[in-house]
Amino acid sequence: MSNPLRIFVPVKRVVDYAVKVRVNATKTDVDRNVKHSMNPFDEIAVEEAVRIKEKSPKTEVVAISCGTTKSQETLRTALAMGADRAVHIEVKDDSTLEPLAVAKLLKALADKEANKPDLFILGKQAIDDDASQTGQMLAGLLKWPQTTFASKVDINDKSLKVVREIDGGLETVSTKLPAVITTDLRLNEPRYASLPNIMKAKKKPLVKFTPEDLGVDISPRLQTLKVEEPPKRAGGRKVESVDELVDKLRNEAKVL
Amino acid sequence: MFASVTSRIALQTRSTLVQRFYTTGAGVNTLLYVEHKDGAISGATLNALTAAKKLGGSVTALVAGEAPEGVAKEVAKLEGVSKVLTAKDAAYAHALPEDIAPLLAEVQAKNGFTHLITGHTAGGKNVFPRAAALLDVAAISDITAIESEDTFVRPIYAGNAIATVKTNDKVKVITVRGTAFEAASATQDAAPEEVVSSSEKLGLTQWEGEEIQKSDRPDLGSAKRVISGGRGMKNGENFKLLYDLADKIGAAVGASRAAVDAGFVDNSLQVGQTGKIVAPELYIAVGISGAIQHLAGMKDSKTIVAINKDADAPIFQVADYGLVDDLFKAVPELTEKISK
């Protein structure tokens, strides 16, 4: 038996996917006084790590979140799903964390650990900034292989085979650990945390660091000048029949 | 270095009228990363080229591959490309980011490009953030407009908010939403070509193979007409109703996440926040309720048609023409009446 795997899973607290966001009055951001939850792609990442652990029980799964104090709720959710311990990299309430800063924090954390992680599993994108950058940046900084948009992951000892979702279909790549994976929607179906597991999660260890502890400069490189509502569509018209639809498309919209 | 100083001076001495057109051009020197497959330039690269031209300044294209020569010749003929760099190496055969990102970073360092640009495709998303990290700069994803050489517009929250961001970085690493910019076209005179290389090839990942969905229909991302099916299609066989209609009007076929997850169609057909973003002239949504995540991928279409038996489905709020009807009756009728 080879050495047990150590999997790091970064998770982000975001506005819940079902919330219809609104731009705030000052047009600087969206209204954040709404329900938040774990980024859906990150749930898939936690689930995948926990499944790997279920196959080889010595695996250690570490959930990490960079953000304000409230990120700890998201970490507890990951612990309730089956992560072993959590690391909270705490920033001040008004800090903006960009993907490059998060990637640097994660790299610094990996460097700090006495036992290095073998694998990072991240979501392919956060549904708030829609950037789709952090995993790739982290892999670049670590000089590790990256297998992004994964829809199937096979780990056999230290080798990794991943089926990736690409434009037009699927692609298979293989590599060696250590590596970075980012998850696509179809990788798995995340479990719900049961009440006993939620209770147990409260006792699991959670350690805190600050960016200063890790020696990382998180100053933003981008400045958001304004945030606006997208242009409204004048939709909502109904037609009575297929005949009327064909007529409108031909003679009014002129798209047929 | 001297060249860019001279061009800046030259620009300053031009008439004010010309200056007004080139307000963002001074000192801009853009590298366009060309995506290509089976000897053909990716459509998204042509859109990214148009965005690159809007920045002003010069546009140099980089074609990397196992045998980049053929594609490089085609790229050299594109309007607005002033030079083509080719990087030929077996390591670049499948555009693996571990090898392409260092190449981009090295080519940038040697040539002092101010902007790196490519399409926001699966390939562009895979390579560009890694290159940005190597250059220690932010990456700016999926831009839909250019305000100036350092200020860009991009959708956030599944397109429910539009952010204008200004970067303070020296090098701007940008991926472009294809549907937001026209495709650039070919011209007569070929731009000069130059060979480049990179010292760093990590060779960390092996490409094993791919499964590409073959179709005679137009490409989903760039089709003028798109017909999409959702959960209401009930099964994969019923998608034939949409294929029949699509073939009649030369449309591409797409799907909602529900249809993909249920296994009706391949996931490369998914339209939405996490799938393809489309903006055709005509988008017909059949049996699709219109979740936020689906609307994110199609609400910039020119004309939207919804066919759904649930009159309260959110899709009707964005549809220019909504038909409340059973799709199994309405779609065949539509196919028949359109062909007349």
B171 and B254: one domain? no
The mean pLDDT of A122-151, rounded to a whole number, is 98
Inter-chain contact B157–A130, Cβ cutoff 8 Å? Answer: yes
Domains in chain A, number: 1
Residue type, A224: T
Which DSSP string do the residues of B272-331 spell out, in sequence order?
STTSB----SEEEEES----HHHHTTTTT-SEEEEEES-TT-THHHH-SEEEES-HHHHH
In a domain, B113, yes or no: yes
Q: Structural domain tally of chain B?
A: 2
Task: Please give the residue range of the domain that contains residue A17.
Answer: 6-225
Among B142, B317, B330, select the one facing A242 at the smallest CB separation.
Answer: B330
Candidates A168, A222, A248; nearest CB to B167 = A222
Whether B166 and B109 share a structural domain:
yes
What pLDDT band is residue B17 in, cutting at 50, 70 and 90?
Answer: very low
pLDDT at B339: 78
The CATH number linked to B301 is 3.40.50.1220
Q: Are residues B177 and B311 in the same domain?
A: no
Using the structure block, give the residue that is written with the tokens 């892999």. A139
Residue A240 lies in a domain: no
Looking up tokens 């910039």 gives: B300
**Interval B125-151 mean pLDDT:** 98
**Does residue B118 have a known ligand-binding role?**
no
Q: Give the mean pLDDT of A43-49.
A: 98
ipTM beyond 0.90? yes
Instruction: Answer whether B199 touches A (CB < 8 Å).
Output: no
In percent, the amount of chain A with pLDDT more than 70 equals 99
Cβ-Cβ contacts under 8 Å, A229 against chain B: 161-162
The arithmetic mean of pLDDT across residues B138-153, rounded, is 98
Query: Residue A191's domain is classified under what CATH number?
Result: 3.40.50.620
DSSP secondary-structure letter at B190? P
Q: How would residue B203 be classed by pLDDT, with cut points 50, 70 and 90?
A: confident
Confirm whether B300 is domain-assigned. Answer: yes
CB atoms within 10 A of CB B162: 19
pLDDT confidence bin for A46, thresholds 50/70/90: very high
Beta-bridge partners for B284? B227, B305
Going by pLDDT thresholds of 50, 70 and 90, the confidence category of residue B199 is: confident
Q: Do B257 and B325 lie in a common domain? A: yes
Using an 8 Å CB-CB cutoff, list chain B residues near A233.
299, 304, 317-318, 320
Q: Do B119 and B248 belong to one domain?
A: no
Residues with Cβ within 8 Å of A27's Cβ and at least 6 positions away in sequence, in order, are A226, A227, A228
B residues 257-316 lying closer than 8 A (beta carbon) to A: 257, 260-261, 266-268, 273-274, 276, 281-282, 292-293, 299, 302-305, 311, 316
* Residue A215, in any domain of the structure: yes
Same domain as B60, residue B182: yes
pLDDT of residue A114 exceeding 90, the answer is: no
* Backbone phi and psi for residue B274, each to the nearest 5 degrees, phi listed first: -110, 5
Tell me, yes or no, whether B160 and B299 share the same domain. Answer: no
* pLDDT at A229 > cutoff 70: yes
Q: B41: helix, coil or strand? A: strand
Same domain, B64 and B187: yes
Instruction: Evaluate whether residue B23 is within a structural domain.
Output: no
pLDDT at B145 over 50: yes
The predicted model scores a pTM of: 0.93
The verdict on B260 and B329 lying in the same domain is: yes
Which residue spans within A91-157 are E strands per DSSP? 119-123, 146-156
Domain CATH for B167: 3.40.50.620
Q: Do A6 and A116 meet the contact criterion of CB atoms below 8 Å apart? A: yes
Note if the bond before B218 is cis, omega within 30 degrees.
no
pLDDT of residue B142: 98
Evaluate whether residue B24 is within a structural domain: no
**Which residue segment(s) compose the domain that B145 sits in?**
29-195
The reported pLDDT for the residue numbered A213 is 97
Residue A97 lies in a domain: yes
Kindly list the distances between the CA atom of residue B23 and the CA atoms of B6, B11, B57, B149, B165, in Å, as whole numbers in the listed order.
17, 10, 10, 9, 18
Is B215 in CB contact (< 8 Å) with chain A? no
Do residues B235 and B189 share a domain?
no
Whether residue B206 lies inside any domain: the answer is no
